[in-house]
């Protein structure tokens, strides 16, 4: 009888230890779940931020290209004026 009481007491102690371990594991599982939610939120925010960065990069590129386009227009206008002037001089020389 004494031996069975000792065995029961050992089982009770073991059960208490296991219950405590399970409670700790539940807390850890809850913390992991919370971390997963935070990571999912951060991931969505990073995606949104990356999309905004791409839009800003495109706008910056457009701003950088504006002076280049204006310079090309200016070069075209100057070239056309010079060619027109040369043609006028040549035509004037032919007819005079």
Query: For the whole prediction, is pTM greater than 0.95?
Result: no
Q: How far apart are the two ends of the chain, measured CA to CA in Å?
A: 140
- Percent of the chain predicted with pLDDT > 70: 100
State how far the Cα of 20 lies from the Cα of 13, in Å rounded to an integer: 11
Task: Give per-residue pLDDT as tens, 25-54.
Answer: 999 999 999 999 999 999 999 999 999 999
Mean pLDDT of the chain: 91
């Amino acid at each position: 009888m004494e031996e069975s009481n000792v065995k029961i007491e050992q089982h009770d102690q073991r059960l208490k230890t296991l219950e405590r371990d399970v409670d700790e594991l539940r807390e850890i599982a809850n913390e992991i779940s919370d971390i997963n939610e935070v990571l999912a939120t951060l991931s969505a925010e990073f995606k949104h931020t990356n999309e905004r960065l791409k839009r800003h990069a495109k706008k910056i590129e457009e701003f950088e290209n504006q002076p280049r386009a204006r310079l090309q227009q200016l070069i075209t206008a100057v070239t056309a004026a010079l060619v027109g002037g040369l043609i006028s001089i040549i035509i004037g020389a032919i007819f005079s």
